[in-house]
Structure 1
């Protein structure tokens, strides 16, 4: 099974090739430089793996949530490649990939829940809760909310059992409004990685959760705000 995975969710840009158990990845911090870097990185990772695009079984991409511009770049790139090679696409949650990556570099976390949070700007965070049993899907609906609303949700006891170990991952955890929470450990300095998107895509692929290139859509979680931005651009 060969999967080409791409992410431009935020300030980072990464491309990964999964070929059986072998994984190769290129990752760079490329704020506002995704468009120029992405396709050369794709060519480079395929060459490194001695693989042609036609030999890929599927493409995987972060569907969001995340930066409006970043998501559009990744989705558009994957759509173009999928059309050209006539390949299916596996959309993966960027929050799930963030949690999976944090768990990958912190094996001591085990299968305990990971609350992944990305900075959504406007004093809000994108967040979801991911367990070890089904790491591709949040235990609750992925949301965008003020930090105080996230605190209320986690303290309600409906998301995780009281007193159980849980972990926090992602740059969204910098907000002071999240201080009332007490995760077992917090890692803010982590990013969405294409290799984690690829690994989660493999699980989703095995469950038949893929789409055609034309059906691929980003998940912004902030559709109303996005629509207003589009209206301002068109005026």
Structure 2
């Protein structure tokens, strides 16, 4: 399967992790279409009709898509699995590659967009991981770009030493920083995927892998069900 553009640099991106179903179409660096439906239930039934409507709205078909981008996590386990399975199936169907984007990086991008952060600014993205922990990712702005440093689990009330903290976990940690409780959508995933696509860094369906950060993801679901 090729990992370079087909006819156009057309990317369709999905997010089902931030308690929503979100889709975006990007072509040649521009967002042509975006739609987000709030809520974390019924995502499997919602997302494919959203894809059909999105394609019809811009006059494209599945065969026109050069790559499928998705929020690869960390985050809600069910949302990660829906995202991943969807792009894997679509990738096989139209012989186009996949691009996984970190949910934490998407948060950092949204913070950078909203605050116009200068070079040298440090950002920590934090998402509530339950079980008294947050998913955390450290980033720094260099030459106007967001440079990823690390992703990890952090206990509630853990100390974060960054200039900006962003995500739904901002009040679960300790930080002397600007706090932004915001939620990205698929357009952020698409924008982050575009330079990777042009750089030939898309992957085949079997290599489009989720990132949970927790090794006991399946056990955790079972335990939560018992509770």
Same fold (TM over 0.5): yes
**Cα pair 2:29 2:194 within 8 Å, conserved:** no
CA distance in 2, matches of 1:170, 1:231: 26
Give the deviation of 1:20 after TM superposition: 1.7
Give the deviation of 1:94 after TM superposition: 0.8
Alignment correspondent of 2:74: 65
Spell out the pairing of 1:164-179 with structure 2 (5 A cutoff): 166-175=163-172, 178-179=173-174
Gaps of 5+ in 2: 1-8
Gaps of 5+ in 1: 161-165
Structure richer in helix, relative to its length: 1
CA distance in 2, matches of 1:127, 1:230: 20
TM-score normalised by length of structure 2: 0.86
Alignment correspondent of 1:18: 26
1:218 aligns with 2:192: no
CA distance in 1, matches of 2:203, 2:22: 21
Give the deviation of 1:63 after TM superposition: 0.8
Spell out the pairing of 1:34-183 with structure 2 (5 A cutoff): 34-107=43-116, 109-111=117-119, 112-133=121-142, 134-135=145-146, 137-139=147-149, 141-149=150-158, 151=159, 154-155=160-161, 166-175=163-172, 178-179=173-174, 181-183=175-177
**Cα pair 2:165 2:179 within 8 Å, conserved:** yes
TM-score normalised by length of structure 1: 0.83
**Inter-CA distance 168–230: structure 2 relative to 1 (3 Å threshold):** closer
CA distance in 2, matches of 1:18, 1:110: 26
Q: Deviations over 1:115-167 (max 9, x none)?
A: 111110111101112223342x522x201120344x1xx44xxxx6xxxxx21
Give the deviation of 1:227 after TM superposition: 4.0
**Cα pair 2:68 2:97 within 8 Å, conserved:** yes
Count of residue pairs brought into register by the alignment: 212
**Cα pair 2:16 2:40 within 8 Å, conserved:** no
CA distance in 1, matches of 2:122, 2:223: 40
Give the deviation of 1:36 after TM superposition: 1.5
